[in-house]
Structure 1
């Protein structure tokens, strides 16, 4: 497997501006001074991604109360994200990275194992960006189920 970029604790979080499900641009810089959970997922509406998004939705109040905003990023088009938001009642921004540029910069796109085969795709990953814009946690190859509960435990939320 080729060497892939990976972010580590203390690295500056790569900035981005991406359209949300309504087409409105959202920048990581908009959250400077706040803690933000940025998670990357393969595809809106698939079983694992739906479970993960609903877990974030169901835990959003506690995360927000503890000072954490949540952003989800996938290569889906804004229209598909809008349907996903409406279908699941999601209450946090989902951003579209159709070019996969941001996914790649964050180390969340590349070679991965899937059912014993090496494929290229989105690597399910979660990051905590501190108020100073540095990576506080970098979690690669996370599981869709149970991930939010583990993240809350790690964050003391």
Structure 2
């Protein structure tokens, strides 16, 4: 008898069994829920992908810098390109507008006397140009370059007529930019009786108005009167063969 269970005990044991089974059922689904929650954490750890996107932005920031550099270089080149034509235009104005260039300012006019300028002759001796014309007059002929065909023709013409110039009371001088050594070789070669003046800096040549931009000379002659020393004849851009004869012709007419 004592081993037999009462109905009350049987009910309690049944309730306990159902409670245990329900508890086990509740605990078992919780485990897969934890696993499911742990799975979404893995994609969160894969966050290096935005870093790649951040690195890709760096070249975009550098590209505008590289674009600005060529713009600066172009603007500098543009400035230089604008400056160069300005210089060319300034030079063309001096040559085309008829204005005397700075090199030809102070050019001697008829009635002027020789300026005080010191040059060297073919022997390297200093010559004060202002003392050339006094009791005797002076004829100065200008030639572009020593010992060239046209200049030799002109100089030999003055050589052949030097006696007639002397009889009228006038001394002859040649004038160019050549150095004294070149003048001496030419004088010795052609047996000129007169002196050749060297004016490498164009000091006297510019004052006479025989200088031509940029570095050329006008074949010409200038006659300064004996006694007064005044400039009485100017002949520019003359022909080499005719120049000596025309200078002598002028003096003969002037001293009749």
Give the TM-score taking structure 1 as reference length: 0.88
In 1, the alpha carbon distance for the partners of 2:116 and 2:144 equals 20
In 2, the alpha carbon distance for the partners of 1:7 and 1:138 equals 10
Q: Deviations over 1:74-117 (max 9, x none)?
A: 00000000100011001100010011111111111123xxxxxx
- Equivalence for 1:26: 127
The alignment status of 1:76 with 2:195, answered yes or no, reads: no
In 2, the alpha carbon distance for the partners of 1:120 and 1:127 equals 20
5+ unaligned residues in a row in structure 1: which ranges?
A: 112-118
Give the TM-score taking structure 2 as reference length: 0.55
5+ unaligned residues in a row in structure 2: which ranges?
A: 1-94
The alignment status of 1:130 with 2:225, answered yes or no, reads: yes
The alignment status of 1:55 with 2:150, answered yes or no, reads: no
More strand by share: 1
Larger Cα Rg: Structure 1 or Structure 2?
A: 2
Within 5 Å, give how 1:3-152 maps onto structure 2: 3=100, 4-5=104-105, 6-28=107-129, 29-111=131-213, 120-131=215-226, 132-152=228-248
Contact 1:109–1:120 (Cα < 8 Å) also in 2: yes
Q: Deviations over 1:4-51 (max 9, x none)?
A: 444332123323221111101122314322110011111000101101
Contact 1:123–1:141 (Cα < 8 Å) also in 2: yes
Contact 1:8–1:137 (Cα < 8 Å) also in 2: no
CA RMSD in angstroms, aligned pairs only? 1.6
In 1, the alpha carbon distance for the partners of 2:215 and 2:230 equals 27
- The size of the alignment, in residue pairs, is 150
- Equivalence for 2:22: none
More helix by share: 2
- Structure 1 residue ranges, 4+ long, deviating more than 4 angstroms after superposition: none
Report the 3-state secondary structure (helix = DSSP H, G, I; strand = E; otherwise coil) of the residue aligned with 2:161: helix
